[in-house]
Structure 1
Amino acid sequence: MASPTFQTSASEPPPRRIRVLPSQLANLIAAGEVVERPSAVLKELLENALDAGARRVVVELVAGGRRLVQVSDDGHGMNPDDAVLCFERHATSKIAAPGDLNAIHTYGFRGEALPSIAAVSRTTLQTCADDSGLGTEVIIEGGQLRAVREVGRTRGTTVTVRDLFFNTPARRKFLRTDATELRHILREMTGLALTKPDLGFTLSHGGRVLLECNPVSTWQERVRTVFGREMLLRSIPVDKSDGTGRLYGLLGRPGDSGGGYTEQFLLVNGRSVQSRVFRKAVVDGFETTTESGRQPFFVLFLELDPAAVDVNVHPQKREVRFRDDRAVYDLIFSAVRSAFSDTASRERGASPERPAEEHTRPLTAGDQTREEAPSAEPAPSGIPSFWNAPPDRPYVPAMAKGADRFHRLSDGDAIYLPGTGSARAAFFALPDIKPSPKERAEDARTAQVALDLVSKSPGSFSASEGLEAIAASELKETVWQFQRKYIFVNTRDGLWIIDQHVAHERILYEEAMAGFAGDVPASQQLLFPTVIELTPEQDAVFDEVEEIFTSLGFGIRRLSDRKIEADAYPGALHNWEDGNVIRRMIDEMRELGFRRTGLKEQIAIAYSCHAAVKSGEHLPPATMRWLIERLFATSMPYVCPHGRPIIVKIETAELDQRFGRV
């Protein structure tokens, strides 16, 4: 085939279509990769401060970082020439030769951050490299140099970024609410604070300090500062080394649920990163220990040979790749599994068996020191709250409503407190529900029940039909629990199987929605108020959700920065857990991003899920009867707020057919 020919004018060459972009346009394109939101600006400025040898870093924010991000450090600073040159693309002091990319020891190295930030904001840099008291100020607006002048200041650098994306309106429209942007900023700050416990960090938003980390000597002390003492004490330590490297840090306990991805930190060689291999190894290590859909807490540090890690993968340096993925996976997975196994072995050896007949101590409001029965041992970690409930007085949530929001204590109210455990959670016994020994033995009737008879979808029935069936049956004699998960009910038409967790979810959901409508549920007053320490991210959103907690029946108020006090909780709440339910609910609200459309419904769903009785918890017959009666008083007793079925109906005719009776 002949080659194509092109006819061209002998006098005029074809027009040139390829051109070198001007530097301002190139910087705007680069900014699209490096600067996606205010948290990216903060990350780059913080990393520059740490590379400059700073011992303390102070961050000031306004409007979630959209109007102002200011980072001040006491590092070595820059001379006048470097102060101007640092805004040129690919100008850096971190690397000088191609071989330097194979073993990067600094946070920054690409030389793209400052010019990219300056291209989409109004940026001012002040810096001083000595103790003369005379430094340099550089002002850039939208990538254009406006001024370079002398300024009086101490050693160090301050970078002030105002009006992010002021010259790119399309980019500005993609920013989220101030609360959402602030959450991303707090995560970036927290990740760096965890990697450098010996440095000081302060972050303020609108003049209010959200994070204050003074220099400490160990990473454990920094974890305590950020996440609180309780999280540090409850977490499981992990520390393992092999020929690949070393993994150490903390893992959330099996059964606990953290605040989602916001309380999961992976740190490689002092850098907070994202890694599919790292994360998969951790999640696989947690497998079978955490309920599906829950996100466990963990802070894990991985130390490797710098040559075995490639950090030059992403423009924002968020992702890393490992030279040997399999070796890294094996180290992390085995370390996580070993930590769980070792902890379980230690706690099995330290936890005594529950005494058969020991009771908790009943106290009354009028005589809190009167002792009527010996005190029980505290429940081992992970054992349901019914451990500390006397067998003749099961805990049943108080559901009665009245004008008084709190259930006032009187001499006739019995309060059961764990003998040596927390004295904050008060269990109020209802005098009209006293199961007999015969009722406590009813669980044995479930031994021969065949679950393969259970239909995969619930039968068609209505709430009115359910009430009629309940009324027609002798409920007291026809209710029992199977595998501490399902409630079996014998009705006139057959057998109903009720999922205890989702049934309680439906009850609590409707209680919560009624509270939002002004009918605040009855509350249980705590004998001793609980002081709850919040993480910086939780504290940043508490003021916006305090009213929601009040609508649900919580008595809660702010004490100080990162500390709140609770003196009451909703009467329908199954387990107070020393206030952990509040932390988890704040995390749920934070994850929702404060969407106003459907917000109350989403909060009610989150509350009902956390507060409901869990699968695996024993329910006395009296409590099961209460649960069923409350369920059929709801508007939709056959489906939970998540859309899952609550009741599976097996008619007698179906059983007869299965057994060949027809």
Structure 2
Amino acid sequence: MTRQPITLLPDTLRNQIAAGEVVERPASVLKELVENSLDAGATRIDVVIEGGGASVLQVTDDGQGIPAGELALAVTRHATSKLKTAADLFTVTSFGFRGEALPSIASVSHLLLTSRAREAAEAASLEVDQGVLKAEGPAALACGTRVEMRRLFSGTPARLKFLRSEATEAKRCQEALMRMALARPDVAFSLVSGGRELFRLPGGQDLAGRLARFWPPQVTEGLVKFRREKDGMTAHGLAGSPCHAQNRADRMFFYVNSRPVQDRLLMRAAREAYKGRLLSGEYPQLALFLELPPEEVDVNVHPAKTEVRFRDESAVFSLVRWALEPVAGSAALAEPGGGYAAAGASPAWGGAGASRPSAAPGGTSPWLGRGDESAPARLRAYASFLSPEAEREVPLPLTPPAPSVERFPSDRSGAAADQAAASLGAAAPRALQRENLEYLGQVADTYLVLRQGGAHGRLVIVDQHAAHERVILEGMRRARAAGHTQPLAVPLPLSLHPSEALRLEELAGELREVGYLLERDGDVLLLSGVPPTLATGRAVQHLREILAEQSDGLTSLWTLLSCKSAIKAGQPLATDEALALLEAWLDAPEREHCPHGRPVVASFGESELERLFKRT
């Protein structure tokens, strides 16, 4: 390989490389420009985007403005009014401070910068295209600044390919502005996308009022204020109780000195406060603000300033956990946005905290092989086999059970009941068709006991309700397009929050598949049909949870339906019934966990049993 000489990179290439650290997509451009507006003391910020922000992204504010003589410096690298000495790096109080945002944006787009300082008689502007100054001169503008970016990455098409669809990029812009708007409820914000106003927020709001614009009432009504102070640090904000948790972390917002951050330490501290009160994969709703002296936090560890480093991580962790523990321990909440509430009764089955599924790990079982996902017939057969109520309530195209298997009788004979309730010792072992398993019997009318691998094998215990839930859920997934519904005599009108209306547009087809008949009339949703296995009240509740993003769409609804239709704990099973359930469950993918995330099976080998009886 021939050695190449060391040379200085051209200025344009330097700026484009630097832009790669700051400008990832339109949302990162929006973030940088809005932060500059806030640092300029703006009380109103208006954002307009086209083409997801890649075609046009304009930010207008009423801040201090930039004098005409400093406009050229504003688009020059390492030029800033926010730092003077090296010591300032360790006491940063502004959002932007590196002097890289505007020149980086200008190097990968067409930028028009217009500004008028408060003491100036007129505004001035300059135009930069792909890092090259094209024009500058006087302009018309009220006091403040307007930055208009066009054709992002037009000069670097390789980076343009990595952008997502316009809708996705627009949503990311909306989320970025929302996070900053929550940190400054005293400032007015607006966002227009494709000529459509997505939101307009007045200044002077409190945090609860601003969150109510972005989160539906089902979420905001369950939020509680918290505040703790210790050693010059303060943790405050709004948080939801465990019974209002959801299965995604996208409503956990963290701020350090009003700066939106993504910090693992804060996330761990919040999760620790809720430990033991949430199912696996559940997350609380949370907007947490941490205020501490600037010298106690380093905000200069990431080019986009989304990560920070604390001088005393242990103290920060303890404060956040301490601040959230009273909220995490509350089972019921008082009034919206109120203080800590006294613990109340646990939510009823199927409530906001009980019916949400969590992610169930796949992969190979430690004691059984991977489930055979190519066995839909057996799954659909068994979805109706054990529960005649499920067959009547769940209108799925179920495959009839094999002729050799006796259908579960609606009126159990005495002999069958005696057999199902027989003691474990009296039950004769029955081999399954595979997996080298023998069924030994049922314990407490809830647990199915098996032996794997002969006399010296493993003891296996299966929760019959959890196993049946998994079987029914897989049957529903395979028959999801059935679209049966239960019509309502009179359509039920439901008011729509703006965020719910957006969610409805995304999920309208999926909701129809599971039996919802919906018609939109402005801000009102007319519900004329519900899934046939749900009472109207429960169907409305679950629809609200889906639209509020408190549950995961179809998966959450299937989970609820499978739980409703599955055999219950305490229900005796005849041997043939237990064997049919086990055979169907062995065919199910993700069989190690029920749809809620609870374990279905436990097993004990000889060594575990020896330790249990202290024989080692």
TM range (shorter): 0.7 to 0.9
Change (3 A) 1:479 1:539: farther
1:569 to 500, 524, 530: 530
Distance in 1 (alpha carbons) for counterparts of 2:5 and 2:533: 72
For residues 555 and 82 of structure 1, the distance between their equivalents in structure 2, rounded to whole angstroms, comes to 60
**TM-superposed deviation, 1:248:** 1.4
| Cα distance in 2 for residues equivalent to 1:433 and 1:198 | 64
The one of 135, 141, 154 equivalent to 1:153 is 141
In the alignment, is residue 37 of structure 1 matched against residue 43 of structure 2?
no
2:267 to 255, 259, 279: 279
Q: Provide closer, same or farther for how the CA distance between residues 611 and 307 of structure 1 changes in structure 2, counting only shifts above 3 A.
A: farther
Paired with 2:218 and 2:141, the residues of 1 have a C-alpha distance of 42
What displacement does 1:59 show?
Answer: 1.4
The yes-or-no answer on 1:399 pairing with 2:399 is: no
What is the CA-CA distance between 1:557 and the residue it aligns to?
Answer: 3.9
Give how far 1:313 is off: 1.0
* Cα offsets for 1:302-358 (capped at 9, x unmatched): 1111221111111111001111101001111122223333667999967579xxxxx
Is residue 2:17 matched to residue 1:23?
no
Question: CA shift at 1:112, angstroms?
Answer: 0.2
Does the aligned pair in 2 maintain the 1:139–1:147 contact within 8 Å? yes
Residue type matched to 1:521 in 2? H
Aligned residues: 531
Counterpart residue type for residue 222 of structure 1: R
Question: Matches of residues 457-606 of structure 1 in structure 2 within 5 Å?
Answer: 460-461=432-433, 482=446, 497-501=462-466, 503-516=468-481, 519-523=482-486, 525=488, 529=492, 531=494, 533=496, 536=499, 539-540=501-502, 542-560=504-522, 564=525, 566-572=527-533, 576=539, 577-583=541-547, 588=552, 605=555
What is the CA distance between 1:151 and its match in structure 2?
2.0
The runs of 5 or more residues in structure 1 that have no matched partner are 1-14, 354-376, 386-394, 404-431, 436-442, 590-603, 651-662
Give the distance between the partners of 2:26 and 2:530, measured in 1 at CA: 37
Contact 1:119 1:141 in 2 (8 A): yes
Letter in 2 for 1:174: F
- Read off the aligned partner of 2:518 and give its amino acid letter: I
Whichever residue aligns with residue 552 of structure 1, its letter is V
Is the Cα contact below 8 Å between 1:255 and 1:291 reproduced in 2?
Answer: no
Aligned partners of 2:197, 2:41: CA distance in 1, in Å? 24
1:613 aligned onto 2:570: no
Q: Which residue of 2 aligns with 1:106?
A: 94
- Partner of 2:221, secondary structure, is helix
Shift of 1:55: 1.4
Q: 1:459 to 1:249 in 2, by over 3 A?
A: farther
Task: From the superposition, tell whether residues 528 and 379 of structure 1 become closer, same or farther in structure 2 (CA, over 3 Å).
Answer: farther
Residue 28 (structure 1) shift: 0.4
* 1:433–1:223 CA distance, 2 compared to 1 (3 A): farther
Matching of residues 41-60 of structure 1 within 5 Å? 41-60=29-48
Q: TM-score, normalised by structure 1?
A: 0.68
Name the aligned partner's letter for residue 11 of structure 2: S
Mapped to 2, the partners of 1:266 and 1:232 lie a distance apart of 17
Comparing 181-190 with 522-531, greater Cα deviation is found at: 522-531
One of 227, 231, 238 as aligned partner of 1:250: 238
Q: How does 1:228-267 map to 2 (within 5 A)?
A: 228-258=216-246, 260-267=248-255
- Counterparts of 1:176-187 in structure 2, within 5 Å, are 176-187=164-175
Kept in 2: contact 1:66–1:164 (CA 8 A): yes
Unmatched 5+ stretches in structure 2: 335-339, 356-388, 398-408, 413-419, 451-458, 595-599, 604-616
Q: CA deviation at 1:146?
A: 1.1
Change over 3 Å in CA distance of 1:49–1:29 after alignment to 2 = same
Q: For residue 583 of structure 1, what is the amino acid of its counterpart? A: L
Distance (whole Å) between structure 2 residues aligned to residue 245 and residue 339 of structure 1: 19
| Distance change (3 Å), C-alpha of 1:297 and 1:162 | same
Distance in 2, matches of 1:108 and 1:266, equals 18
CA 1:541–1:59: 2 relative to 1, 3 Å? farther
Q: CA RMSD in A?
A: 4.9
One-letter amino acid of the counterpart of residue 507, structure 1: I
Cα distance in structure 2, aligned partners of 1:90 and 1:329: 34
Counterparts of 1:194 and 1:531 in 2: how far apart (Å)? 27
Report the 3-state secondary structure (helix = DSSP H, G, I; strand = E; otherwise coil) of the residue aligned with 1:521: coil
1:48-447 to structure 2, matched below 5 A, reads 48-130=36-118, 134-258=122-246, 260-341=248-329, 351=344, 399=393, 401=395
Distance 1:16 1:534, change over 3 A: same
Residues 103-124 of structure 1: CA distance to partner in whole angstroms, max 9, x if unpaired? Answer: 2111111100011011111111
Distance verdict in 2 for CA 1:501–1:614, change over 3 Å: farther
CA shift digits 1:26-47 (9 cap, x unpaired): 1001001001111111100110
One-letter identity of the residue aligned with 1:500: H
Residue aligning to 1:595? none
Contact 2:218 2:544 in 1 (8 A): no
Report if the CA contact (8 A) 1:57-1:200 is conserved. Answer: yes
For each residue in 1:214-252, what CA deviation from the matched residue of structure 2 results, as whole angstroms up to 9, or x when unmatched?
A: 224321211222213332221343221111411112223
Query: Does the 8 A contact of 2:78 with 2:98 survive in 1?
Result: yes
1:192 Cα offset (Å): 0.5
Counterparts in 2 of 1:18 and 1:402: CA distance versus 1, 3 Å: closer
Q: CA deviation at 1:212?
A: 2.8
Evaluate the alpha carbon distance shift between residue 383 and residue 644 of structure 1 in structure 2; reply closer, same or farther with a 3 A threshold.
closer
SS in 1 for 2:60: strand
Q: Deviations over 1:389-442 (max 9, x none)?
A: xxxxxx979625499xxxxxxxxxxxxxxxxxxxxxxxxxxxx9999xxxxxxx
- Of structures 1 and 2, the one with the larger relative CO (CA 8 A, separation 6+) is 2
CA distance in 1, matches of 2:580, 2:189: 54
Change (3 A) 1:273 1:248: same
2:127–2:136 CA contact under 8 A, matched in 1: yes
Compared CA separation, residues 93 and 383, structure 1 to 2 (3 A): closer
Taking the aligned partners of 2:75 and 2:345, their CA distance within structure 1 comes to: 65
Structure 1 residue 183: Cα displacement: 3.4
Cα-to-partner distance string for 1:109-167 (whole Å, 9 max, x where unaligned): 11000110111111112222248784222211111111112222222222111221111
C-alpha distance after superposition, 1:281-305 (max 9, x if no partner): 1111121111112233211111111
Q: In 2, Cα distance between the equivalents of 1:510 and 1:141?
A: 57
Query: In 2, distance between residues paired with 1:193 and 1:434?
Result: 62
What SS does structure 2 have at the residue aligned with 1:60?
strand
Distance in 2 between the 1:65 and 1:459 partners? 63
**In the alignment, residue 310 of structure 1 is paired with which amino acid?**
D
Contact 1:286–1:337 (8 Å) recurs in 2: yes
TM-superposed deviation, 1:605:
4.6
Could you tell me how far 1:269 is from its partner in structure 2? 0.9
